[in-house]
Amino acid sequence: MLLFALPEAHDIGAPLAQALNTTLAPLEVRSFEDGEFKLRPLTPVRDADIYVVQSLHSADGLSVHDRLCRLLFFMSVLRDHGAARITVICPYLCYGRKDRRTKPFDPLTLRYVAQIIEATGCDRLMTLEAHNVMAFQNAFRCETLHLEMATVFVGEIARDLADKPLCVMSPDPGGIKRAQLFREALETELGEPVEFAFRDKRRSGGIRTSGAFAGDVAGKRVIIVDDMIVSGGTLLSAARAALEFGAYECVAVAAHGLFAQGSETLFETPELSRVMVSDSVSTARATGAHIVSGIPALASRLLELMQA
């Protein structure tokens, strides 16, 4: 087994290697004046079972497309030199939100990304909390491994936030299944029931509208669960609604902290007592978010694969 981490994913690759009791395989990285680059493994890869770490978000001067292109080229090099199998460890997978057509002539960008990743030699791809699990699984023809965000967060929530009655809430109808699974995992961890709530929401043309609220949140610490935070508007709106219905306080929990312009409001408002995200997106560390490492969950799943 060889574990590679592209340089921009070293913040995930290095602790993952440590958790797996191994070292990162060496590779050469060269950047040229015109923006082109070269990635080269510095160890033989023929007949090897290879794992490549790359998270597909914009950061450190590299766009989503830069990171995707570097991953594609590196997988191609590995295939050219005889790798037996390539598993991509991609904590954050780009274009997960564009998984269906909602308007005439809409693209299915998630499927297109899946096709080009497969075309360059990926045998298996692991990600953390896809936007839509069914769409993610259907987009890829290679083996997919989906790590639910509950495996990252429920332990810390049970340890630090269970001194009050809890309620897990979905901020929109599309996230109900995610929040239900999170609630079930939290109930298992705590050994006691946890309430559930959700709020209706629609988005079209970038305009968000909210509707009915369902669930008993009065006097409870409400854990608002979503797959990602971009502007944070959906989470903040859900927190305000929960507080209007008598919630004790609200905590936002998301697998991926993208934190686009305007998201700083989340850390300035009293409506949210805490914002928790994983370390799948490196830029989240520069915000006021509480970071919960997904490395133990990733390592545990990988060890299961390697021992199978």
| pLDDT tens digits along 23-70 | 999 999 999 999 899 999 999 999 999 999 999 999 989 999 999 999
Q: Are residues 129 and 163 in the same domain?
A: no
**Percent residues over pLDDT 70 in the chain:** 96
Query: What's the token pair of residue 183?
Result: 């609630």
102, pLDDT greater than 90: no
**Residues 163, 142 share a domain:** no
Boundaries of domain holding 119: 2-147
**3-state secondary structure (DSSP) of residue 147:** strand
- Judged against a pLDDT cut of 60, whether residue 136 lies above it is answered with yes
Q: Looking at residue 237, what is its pLDDT?
A: 92
Instruction: Look at residue 300 and tell me if it is in a domain.
Output: no
Q: Is residue 302 assigned to a domain?
A: no
Task: Pick the last residue of a domain from 107, 126, 147.
Answer: 147
CATH number of the domain within which 269 lies: 3.40.50.2020
Q: Which residue has the tokens 């609604």?
A: 241
Last residue in a domain, options 147, 163, 192 = 147
Structural domain contains residue 299:
no
Q: DSSP for 204-259?
A: ETTEEEEEEEES--TTSEEEEEEEEESS-HHHHHHHHHHHHTT-SEEEEEEEEE--
Task: Work out how many domains the chain is built from and give that number.
Answer: 2
Last residue of a domain, one of 147, 167, 196: 147
**E strand spans, 73-177:** 85-89, 124-128, 143-147, 166-170
Q: Which amino acid is it at 291?
A: I
Dump pLDDT digits (tens) for 197-236.
999 866 555 555 566 899 999 999 999 999 999 999 999 9
pLDDT tens figures, 173-193: 989 999 999 999 999 999 999
